[in-house]
Amino acid sequence: MRLDTGNFSLSRLDLLGAVTVAAVGVWTLVAAAGRPSSPENFLLGLLTVAAAYAVGRIAGERSAYGACAAVAGAVAVVFLMSPDALSGHALAEPLGYGNANGALATQAVGAACLAALAAPNERRRGEMHLLAGLLVLGAFATKSVAAALGGVAILVIGLTATAARRRGTLVVAGAVCVAAMALGTVYLGGDKVQHMSGVRLTAEEGLTQRRLDVWHDALTLAAANPVRGTGPGTFVANSPTARADSDTQAAHSLWLRQAAEQGYPGLAAMVALVGWAFVRLWRSRQDPAIVAVGAVTLTAFAVQASMDYVAEFGGVLIALGVVLGVGTAVPDPVLEKGIR
């Protein structure tokens, strides 16, 4: 069943997504009720990505090229207007966190690749591919390894996506990668690894000791507060590592933060929401090329969010939402002609 509202089409899967978003929001309020907590930032982020997704859906049905080119171009301009954005400093502008700058650049690469697929002519397509390449270089300049690798993966898929014939392959592969990364953080933050000096030292070389420590704190807090967690926005106040180090501002994992602050039901709701995004791409009526770029862009975000707190930055969420919206919109004649 599909509900048509003008040029904007909704399916039962879309309604399920809306219910899932609502469930995440409601549980956030339940987890915050009756105790000191700060659910506002989390709810604002949830509303931000949902609104951006709706904009992307509408734009994808009417002017996918314009919407995606605008996102990619806006990110490029923001980087150019921030003198130290590409300095590689840990607290560099425009977002005040180098890894988040990298995540923003990576999402913009996805937007540029989608714009290239939807471009009305070869000249515009070439311009968007060039912009995507420059944004990948920007991701490298932020010194975020996860963002740089994600940007390269998106660009490669973007350049070869027209050869895609099946929607599901990259979607499934992306979901598996995200699941593996999330489970990896649980393993590395667990009690067992705390007593395995060889494994821990190896992990610290690439992930830093502080990141492993906050993952361990998150798992400990979730185990002690399995139903409602410690409350939205309270991880830093309850983490021994964060209290001992004023530079520690987050759990460095979307999943572990959710488990620590909102308990296992909150974690399950977040897993359902991200899982729905992958399923929605898999069931998208868009051309396989569009779906392929959308899937790898979502994967790049979710993988980085599994090991860092990039999901807490509105700019990253806006870019992600628009890309996902375009990736799941019903194709319009201009878009189909552009891909073929």
Which pLDDT value is given to residue 12?
86
Q: How many CA atoms lie within 13 A of 2 on its CB side?
A: 9
| Rounded average pLDDT over 280-289 | 91
First-residue to last-residue Cα distance in the chain: 28
Digit-coded pLDDT (tens) for 32-77: 999 999 999 999 999 999 999 999 999 888 888 999 999 999 999 9
Which pLDDT value is given to residue 86?
85
Q: Which two tokens stand for residue 264?
A: 């296992």
Most confident of 14-28, 56-70, 184-198: 14-28
- Cis geometry, peptide bond prior to residue 333 (ω within 30 degrees of 0): no
Query: What's the pTM value of the predicted model, to 2 decimals?
Result: 0.92
Percentage, residues of the chain above pLDDT 90: 73
CA–CA distance from 169 to each of 120, 164, 252, 282, 288 (Å)?
27, 9, 29, 9, 10
CA–CA distance from 205 to each of 84, 209, 210, 255, 257 (Å)?
26, 8, 11, 22, 22
Q: What is the largest CA-CA distance in the chain?
A: 61
Distance CA 277, CA 292 (A): 13
Distance CA 169, CA 166 (A): 6
Digit-coded pLDDT (tens) for 65-120: 999 999 999 999 999 998 788 888 988 999 999 999 999 999 999 999 999 999 99
> What is the average pLDDT value for the chain, to the nearest integer?
89
Which pLDDT value is given to residue 197?
59
